[in-house]
Chain A
């Protein structure tokens, strides 16, 4: 099997290194053909594994010798004979491995390991646990690599709520998936504060050539909205078919009538966020308070109606 695209860091670790452990001596040309990876990159990956104490025992190392035409494994870690997992450890391991496999379906050693783990855990129903991860977004592997290498990146980014495209300089800390969407979390040099970016909103990304030093303790990426002092307050009336949004957005339900119609409070830095929600949910939501959001809703609705030839 040949991979047309160069693999990202995780893909390389999942595919190339297990392959080398199995084969021990491989022609460089074969490695380049299969994985589109140069010997220099391989050496860099191995050094990274050894430097970050990936292996528990300090004697465990992974090293190769690169001759003119071959890569030869000189040192490979010896793994413990039987993992002896507790059930919940096996479950955690299986979930992580399945998520990694979902992102790197070509990783054959991982696929066979998952199969063995499933058969051992649930022998009569090996497909009983399914993981559907977010689709592999472009840039995910590349951004993670730049985060590892601590390289400042210039992004051409389309903001989700405003739809505006602009350039940002970012110190990338982490790539993560949350609620089925990939995000980049890092320090925006342009804005002077930590920011998260939807990876599918990145049109172009390129290292600037500068390095950066991340904080000693990188703050965790936000998973809920943090209210700011200048936020707009919007109050929605939400009918039962749209009630689910109160679980997906940071909303405070103020009241609910016997028919299930809820009144909920929503804070946002940009009223367009609230307007967009109201547009998308149509008759199932109504802005009760928030004049700025109402104005933005009118603008958005006019744009859509104009597209359908109903500009009045």
Chain B
């Protein structure tokens, strides 16, 4: 049987029922997979077929309960999305943004564009924004868990299995994060490092309101969310460097433009290593003007960068 027919049969099977099929069930129902003498070849062919179907826009969803086998189903269009009642001007704005902001990673929006009434403009320079590799299936499940306020369980970077209350999904600078509450503390997890995700079927288990104390780890700069005692630090950047320093300053710091064109920046530092890493990107175009303890710490940091034997 040719590949095209096999793919069509797989689609028909998944489409025919809301049942979630295990791979074994699919193999039992479909001769082409069953006919492979080597089960490993059949498995690899099935994985390739799923990938092909996903690439052309079919949303094959996988789920796995605890140690049980993975099951597969084909997502149906969401009726609620058809009832959004977008005005023509909103539809136009959506189409333009989807056409012009090219997403890197796994998200393909070509079919989405067609549904919005637009194609892929060939002659316009797009504004490419790399949003990183997004595992849509995982994100879809996580968003579902946030919506139903259900606990989730997952393995993370080799630590013991975690149970958390998911609060939001965030993309910062092309990296995808889950922000979730674990034992009353709001923590941030990289989604690509999270595996064995299980969403509890029990709903309305917690409140979505975030605890507000401290800087938001997802909007603050790295030197603002360390665990060291906060030191209010003042930095002066030279006037000649101001034009390129300014766009690189985070919005969270206080900035004053002096009469001579230099910039004075005030920020609270709770992670000195992160602060020096940022500050030394400007090498000698800027200088810590206070407090003295931070000036001394900077000098020591630079000296240590030279002293190999101290490592």
Contact = CB atoms under 8 A, between A and B. Distances in A.
- Tell me, yes or no, whether A binds B: yes
Interface of A: 9-10, 13-14, 17-19, 21-22, 48-49, 51-57, 60, 76-80, 82-93, 95-97, 99-101, 103, 107, 109-110, 112-113, 116-117, 119-125, 127-135, 137-138, 140, 144, 147-148, 158, 163, 172-181, 200-201, 203, 221, 223, 237, 239, 241, 276, 278-288, 297-298, 300-301, 303-308, 310
Contacts of A51: 123
A96 B98 contact: yes
Interface residues of B, number: 100
Contacts, number: 341
A57 B117 CA distance: 8
Interface string B125-138: 11111110010110
Given A148-B124, A179-B173, A301-B302, 7 more contacts: A77-B92, A82-B82, A83-B81, A93-B94, A119-B84, A124-B148, A175-B125
B8 interface: no
Nearest to B123: A52
B305 A100 contact: no
Contact of B75 (A21, A87, A304): A87
Interface string B284-311: 1101000000010011011111101011
A133 B147 contact: no
Contacts of B185: none
Nearest to A126: B147
Contact of B96 (A17, A127, A201): A17
B273 A96 contact: no
Interface stretch (B23-31, B101-109, B194-202): B101-109
A173 to B, nearest CB: 7
Given A83-B116, A109-B90, A279-B283, A117 B84 contact: yes
B218 A22 contact: no
Given A99-B129, A116-B90, A79 B81 contact: no
Interface of B: 57, 59, 75-78, 80-104, 107-109, 111-112, 114-119, 121-131, 134, 136-137, 139-140, 143, 146-149, 167-174, 208, 218-219, 243-244, 247-248, 251, 273, 276-277, 280-281, 283-285, 287, 295, 298-299, 301-306, 308, 310-311
A117 B117 CA distance: 16
A199 B57 CA distance: 34
A53 B95 CA distance: 13
Contacts of B85: 116
A236 to B, nearest CB: 11
B186 to A, nearest CB: 14
B169 A284 contact: no
Nearest to B248: A200
Contact of A180 (B57, B118, B169, B172): B172
B84 to A, nearest CB: 5
B81 A278 contact: no
Contacts of A221: 128
B93 A110 contact: yes
Contacts of B302: 279, 282, 301, 304-305
Contact of A95 (B111, B114, B122, B134): B134
B89 A21 contact: yes
Contacts of B102: 176
Given A10-B96, A109-B90, A80 B115 contact: yes
A92 B114 CA distance: 13
B277 A200 contact: no
Given A122-B146, A278-B305, A303-B283, A175 B128 contact: yes
B101 A99 contact: yes
B248 A120 contact: no
